[in-house]
Amino acid sequence: MSHKKPNLPTKICATCARPFTWRKRWAACWGSVRYCSDACRSRRRESNAEATGIQERPSERTNVRRTPG
């Protein structure tokens, strides 16, 4: 890209506290965007669960193997 985009809105990520700029895919939901990436969003969920002592349900775990029967 040969030009800069100085007029794009920015926000501060709720997890890492770094600034991030508007992206075209966020055009419809920019008001509700709080995290700069999926990684920050997942880290925020993990830290909230640890802080509150809530255990995740088995259906929310990604590495769950279910046995037939």
8-state DSSP, 39: H
pLDDT on residue 6: 78
pTM for the model: 0.57
pLDDT on residue 63: 59
Taking Cα atoms as reference points, which of 15, 11, 46, 18 lies closest to residue 32?
A: 11
pLDDT on residue 7: 86
Sequential pLDDT tens for the chain (69 residues): 567 777 899 999 999 999 999 999 999 999 999 999 999 999 876 666 555 555 555 555 555 566 665
pLDDT on residue 15: 93
